Amino acid sequence: MRSQVVPMISLFILVYVYADTECPANEVYDACGKACEPACNDPHPVLCLPSCFAGCKCKDGFFRNEKDECVKECPGTSTTKAP
């Protein structure tokens, strides 16, 4: 019985840790990403904490808009390019 408890707990922990890695449209999960990303109101963020943050982030070439969605082009601009 005891030999089954440790693997079951390990499996539960793995499922819990990796269960929330699905991301909305145009986003990817990053286990160690930057604290900031290109946004419509700040397309080229300069000051960014050098920390490791796990979570969903916009795919390369996308910006986070005011609705917290990742979009290819920001409203009102046609020349904004993500870094």
Higher pLDDT, 44 or 9: 44
Please tell me the distance from the alpha carbon of residue 38 to that of residue 59, in angstroms, as a whole number. Answer: 10
Fold classification of 23-83 (topology level):
Laminin (2.10.25)
Residue 3, pLDDT score: 67
Banded pLDDT at 63 (limits 50, 70, 90)? very high
**Where do the domains of the chain lie?**
23-83
pTM over 0.85: no
